[in-house]
Amino acid sequence: MSLRRAFSRRPPLGRLRRGWGALIMTSRHLRALPITRRRRVSGDVTDLPAPWPLALVDDRTKTVADGYGALFHRTFTVRVVDTEHGAGDLIETLSRDLDRGAPPHVVTFARERGEPGRMMLGDEYRVYMPAPWDGPVRVLARTAYLFRFGTLAGHLEAGMIEFRASDEGSGVVDFTIEVWSRAGDRAAEFVYGRLGVGQEVQAALWVQFCLGAVRLTGGRRDGPVHEVTRRVPAAELAV
């Protein structure tokens, strides 16, 4: 086990790391705001994610139907130019070790099911974050250019997240993180949906992950990180 992962567990080292990680991520988020373009728009039922593959559904599954409050459909996108590695290489690198893209000392991905060094359908991870919770997830999709996670019981949120990349020309790669999430319980709905704290934590994390993906390509960022958030009121969700 790496030192990074060892310091992610609780207690007591994990809690100390989480507190320090929260301070680091707040600082990085503030510094990244000038290079982030943020847009908020109204969403509708077309923002619902695809259903889980039936073969991967069990009593631990936590879909958006199991959540509370509004659905937040968010995308974080960055374009990279002058790359040394293409979209497929980027996704392969991340699938082998998600920590390569994650901001150090802030978040880490610990494999709980599956073979080290590869990512397959049904594999499971626990995401350790700068907060008093962990995020268990399961791999729902895996191709040469994307992988998708679904939340499991015990996660603060209910939903999915997809990481994908595409080649857009010679030495040009677009990297996107797409998130579909609702609060996992009523307490989380108050913090995430009404106070907006959880939304900012999520935004800070995935903007930093986008910047990590830029570094992994060996290229340079072309323009800002684009963040789009579409909010769908709970009353409009037929889930």
**What's the pTM?**
0.88
The alpha carbon of 26 is separated from its chain's Cα centroid by a whole number of angstroms, namely 17
- Does residue 29 contact residue 218 with C-beta atoms inside 8 Å? no
Taking the C-alpha atoms of residue 48 and residue 188, their distance in angstroms, rounded to an integer, is 20
Q: What band does 7 get if pLDDT is binned at 50, 70 and 90?
A: very low
Higher pLDDT, 231 or 133: 231
User: What would the mean pLDDT of 41-65 be, rounded to a whole number?
Assistant: 95
User: What would the mean pLDDT of 85-93 be, rounded to a whole number?
Assistant: 98
User: What would the mean pLDDT of 16-42 be, rounded to a whole number?
Assistant: 75
What pLDDT does residue 173 have? 98
Taking the C-alpha atoms of residue 182 and residue 155, their distance in angstroms, rounded to an integer, is 11
Task: List pLDDT tens digits, range 110-152.
Answer: 999 999 889 999 999 998 876 656 789 999 999 999 999 999 9
User: What would the mean pLDDT of 170-191 be, rounded to a whole number?
Assistant: 89
Assess whether the previous peptide bond of 53 is cis (omega < 30° from 0). no
The alpha carbon of 109 is separated from its chain's Cα centroid by a whole number of angstroms, namely 11
What pLDDT does residue 9 have? 47
What pLDDT does residue 190 have? 72
Calculate what percentage of the chain has a pLDDT beyond 70: 82
What structural domains does the chain harbor?
3-236 (3.30.530.20)
What pLDDT does residue 195 have? 59
Taking the C-alpha atoms of residue 70 and residue 234, their distance in angstroms, rounded to an integer, is 4
Task: List pLDDT tens digits, range 203-218.
Answer: 888 999 999 999 999 9
12 has pLDDT over 60: no
Mean pLDDT of the chain: 86
Q: What band does 237 get if pLDDT is binned at 50, 70 and 90?
A: confident
36 has pLDDT over 80: yes
User: What would the mean pLDDT of 215-239 be, rounded to a whole number?
Assistant: 92
